[in-house]
């Protein structure tokens, strides 16, 4: 039976990527060595790293003002790394838009380095919308937001406007659509949604915003050190970078982000249409803020939740149970999720 994996992350990747990665584990590039035993300083892996960086720059149209890094520690390390690199040591301030768990955690880390101003929040309705109409102070060192919330199923359709460096956690919607990178000071994303396996963290940083805090920054957390070392200040996550490179090649071959975005819009439209037209289900997210990556929904009769999950399991559908913060169900439909898997879920929903 075909498995339909709707996991919020680590998530599915294209089968072609899995197959190439599997071969590299046994024999990488006809070296007679496994990918995971070669030196990260070898010409073979340096070529992989350089290609991964070049593909990120090409696919996202990264301007020359920005640098691309593959680091470790996930988005959770970037919560503090972005803050320590941008918030001034003396009287520094940072503005945060609170749309759920991840932005809350990011703001918590930033408080270690300066004053944090929450300029907007959707907590009043358990984060089922994206705040609008807020004002951003002009004297802040950064403005931070989470572009897509995996737990609550919301997504920014337009990005905040500010003169301060704009910092975005794009872990769950990076590479799902075109992005104007020039508008951002820092974009960071854990790889394990649309890019690659867990272990690598993509960071795109504008170089001229660095080195202005007046504080001492530990080497591992200093973007300037990491840029100088080309992400190899210490041993990088070799396997995760290689698989990310394979997936970037795959994305390019599909036609790039405009093609990928169209497919994502179509998949989401299919699922939201079923939710809206099926009287047994409901989605409480503001329609204009619905995520194209993480679709959350509830049964009106919650006593049937277990029955629905059992039906999904019988059909080969996995990981659709909702996060404990909202309950119900969640279908994560990242880039590699085929329409046939979305249709398989819809077929089960129709029976309810």
* Catalytic residue annotation: 102, 169, 193
Q: Count Cα neighbours of 30 within 13 Å in the Cβ-side half-sphere.
A: 0
**Which of 39, 144, 40 shows the shortest CA–CA distance to 83?**
144
**Which of 164, 127, 162 shows the shortest CA–CA distance to 146?**
127
Q: Is 341 helix (H, G, I), strand (E, B) or coil?
A: helix
Task: Report residue 326 CA to chain centroid gap.
Answer: 20
Answer whether 282's CB lies under 8 Å from 300's CB: yes
Pairing of strands 154-155, 148-149: antiparallel
Burial 264-273 (b: 16+ CB within 10 A, else e): beebbebbbe
Task: Tell me the Cα Rg of the chain.
Answer: 21
Asked if the bond preceding 10 is cis, omega within 30° of 0, the reply is yes
CA distance 319 to 331: 8
Answer whether 155's CB lies under 8 Å from 112's CB: no
What is the full DSSP assignment across 211-278? S-S-S---GGG-HHHHHHTTT-SS---HHHHHHHHHHHHHHHHHT-HHHHHHHHHHHHHHHHHHHHH-
Tokens standing for residue 84: 């320590």
Q: Is 159 exposed, middle or buried (0-12, 13-18, 19+ CB in 10 A)?
A: middle
In the block, residue with structure tokens 């951003």: 136
């Amino acid at each position: 039976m075909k498995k339909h994996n709707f996991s919020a992350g680590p998530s599915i990747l294209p089968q072609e990527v899995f197959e190439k990665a599997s071969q590299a584990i046994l024999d990488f590039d006809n070296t007679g060595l496994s990918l995971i035993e070669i030196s990260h300083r070898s010409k073979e892996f340096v070529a992989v790293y350089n290609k991964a960086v070049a593909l990120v720059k090409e696919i996202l149209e990264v301007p020359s003002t920005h640098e691309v890094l593959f680091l470790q520690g996930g988005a959770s390390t970037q919560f503090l790394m972005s803050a320590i690199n941008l918030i001034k040591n003396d009287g520094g301030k940072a503005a945060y838009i609170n749309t759920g768990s991840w932005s809350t955690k990011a703001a918590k880390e930033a408080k270690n380095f300066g004053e944090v101003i929450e300029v907007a929040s959707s907590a009043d309705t358990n984060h089922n919308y994206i705040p609008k109409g807020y004002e951003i102070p002009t004297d802040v060192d950064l403005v931070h937001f989470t572009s897509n919330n995996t737990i609550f199923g919301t997504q920014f359709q337009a990005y905040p406007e500010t003169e301060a460096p704009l910092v975005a956690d794009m872990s769950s919607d990076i590479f799902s659509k075109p992005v104007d990178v020039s508008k951002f000071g820092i974009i960071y994303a854990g790889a394990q949604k649309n890019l690659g396996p867990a272990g690598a963290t993509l960071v795109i940083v504008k170089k001229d915003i660095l080195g202005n805090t007046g504080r001492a920054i530990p080497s591992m957390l200093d973007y300037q050190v990491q840029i100088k070392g080309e992400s190899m200040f210490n041993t990088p996550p070799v396997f995760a970078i290689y698989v990310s490179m394979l997936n970037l090649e795959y994305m390019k071959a599909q036609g790039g982000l405009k093609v990928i975005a169209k497919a994502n819009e179509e998949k989401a439209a299919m699922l939201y249409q079923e939710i809206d037209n099926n009287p047994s289900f409901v989605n409480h997210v503001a329609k204009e803020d619905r995520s194209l990556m993480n679709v959350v929904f509830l049964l009106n009769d919650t006593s049937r939740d277990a029955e629905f999950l059992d039906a999904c399991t019988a059909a080969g559908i996995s990981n659709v149970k909702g996060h404990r913060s909202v309950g119900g169900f969640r279908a994560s439909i990242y880039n590699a999720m085929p329409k046939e898997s979305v249709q398989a879920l819809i077929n089960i929903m129709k029976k309810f």
